[in-house]
Chain A
Amino acid sequence: DGGITQSPKYLFRKEGQNVTLSCEQNLNHDAMYWYRQDPGQGLRLIYYSQIVNDFQKGDIAEGYSVSREKKESFPLTVTSAQKNPTAFYLCASRGTGPYNEQFFGPGTRLTVL
């Protein structure tokens, strides 16, 4: 069953703690993405990676970090430097080339207590 998995579905964090969100895909896609969505808003790009061991900052990278050690995995760490981390986080992947759609995971809802 091909697709993108994100875990956990819900995550609670105390202020000052780092937390890592998991994203795995078995679609053999080169490109992977992390987005943040706030209530009633659209998606904002945090980081994206076009190939293993390479990634680029999106529009709101401050307070976040990523790694891309394997093609199928793109974990996102929300650090204590992120001022307002409570949000819905979505991971996506996409095949190579300009005319491929993005496929999204089910999302992780992070709440900072």
Chain B
Amino acid sequence: SQQGEEDPQALSIQEGENATMNCSYKTSINNLQWYRQNSGRGLVHLILIRSNEREKHSGRLRVTLDTSKKSSSLLITASRAADTASYFCATDAAYNFNKFYFGSGTKLNVKP
């Protein structure tokens, strides 16, 4: 069964606003990864956060990880129309770091 689950399922904001997406998972992990997918395309890796890290930044992206709550959040600051896409979190399992579980994603729409 899938481990990572994102919420909200859909998010619509105006350009310039911040977007926050959340991910919850069920079992211990080695790392959690966030990906972006434009419609009909492959996934693009955004950021990886290790289980012993609490926060990580990459450009306009900020990811937090709370292992006690088994949850992560992705914040996109100063959003742009080009950020319109689906965003997925993926977790491995502490007992098998070669196997990944994806949630059903958050569909972000940034209106110009």
Q: Are A42 and B88 in contact (CB under 8 A)?
A: yes
Q: Could you count the A-B residue pairs with CB atoms below 8 Å apart for me: how many are there?
A: 64
Nearest B residue (CB) for A105: B42
Number of interface residues of B (CB under 8 A): 27
Q: Does A41 contact B (CB under 8 A)?
A: yes
- From 1 to 59 in chain B, residues with beta carbon under 8 angstroms from any chain A beta carbon are 1-2, 4, 30-31, 33, 35, 40-45, 48, 50
Q: Are B88 and A101 in contact (CB under 8 A)?
A: no
Q: Does A107 contact B (CB under 8 A)?
A: yes
Report the bound CA distance from A31 to B92 in whole Å: 14
Choice from B41, B45, B88, B98 contacting A31 with Cβ under 8 Å: B98
What are the 9 A-B residue pairs with the smallest beta carbon separation, nearest first?
Answer: A98-B97, A104-B42, A98-B30, A43-B102, A42-B104, A42-B102, A104-B43, A101-B45, A106-B42
**B contact set with A: CB distance below 8 Å:** 1-2, 4, 30-31, 33, 35, 40-45, 48, 50, 88, 90, 92, 97-105
